[in-house]
Amino acid sequence: MNNTITLGVAKKPYRFLFIDDSPTDNKYLSLLIRIKKLPINPHFEYNAPKALQYLKNCDTADFPEAILIDINMPLMNGFEFVESYLEQFGEKKDSTFLYITSSSIQASDREKAAQHPSVAAFIEKPFTLQQFQEKILPNLKNR
């Protein structure tokens, strides 16, 4: 299997915001993006309130096309972030895909993500090339 993803018709990498309080998970994602040459321009935040502040300061041209947020974090969990995001940036919800991530084996977490109308998918950690290809890239390409 080819280890690189071509951009196809995209002229530049997709803008992603990763929100996770784990430095290890964020370092892993950064390495995966670089090694697999994923068409992602990543920005990392370590908590949801800082991510919301980052989004407030984003120009329209820099606003992420995909946001991946961990469920279990201090200060504000992934689902609380989604609600705050929708309140503050609801007009952008059609141009940004929200994904809930977790290493949780709780079926209730998966079900809650699946039932939320604004969550595109549940992404099990660790994030993989296959998940990118199957759960995220089709949404971005179908835009």
How do residues 61-105 score in pLDDT, each as one tens digit?
Answer: 899 999 999 999 999 999 999 999 999 998 766 789 999 999 887
The pLDDT assigned to 61 comes to 87
Per-residue pLDDT band for 7 (boundaries 50, 70, 90) equals very low
Q: 3-class SS at 50?
A: helix
Task: Calculate the average pLDDT of the chain.
Answer: 89
Q: Which spans in 2-136 are helix H?
A: 23-35, 48-56, 78-89, 107-115, 129-131
Rounded to a whole number of angstroms, the CA Rg of the chain reads 14
Per-residue pLDDT band for 11 (boundaries 50, 70, 90) equals low
CATH number for the segment(s) 41-141: 3.40.50.2300
How do residues 15-38 score in pLDDT, each as one tens digit?
Answer: 999 999 999 999 999 999 999 999
The contacts of residue 33 (CB under 8 Å, 6+ apart) are 40, 42
Q: And the tokens for 80?
A: 């609380």
pLDDT, greater one: 58 or 105: 58
Burial class (CB in 10 A: 0-12, 13-18, 19+), 12: exposed
pLDDT, greater one: 143 or 16: 16
The pLDDT assigned to 9 comes to 45
Q: Per-domain residue ranges for the chain?
A: 41-141
**At residue 85, what is the residue type?**
Y
Ramachandran region, residue 54 (left: φ > 0; alpha: ψ -120 to 50; beta: rest): alpha
Per-residue pLDDT band for 143 (boundaries 50, 70, 90) equals low
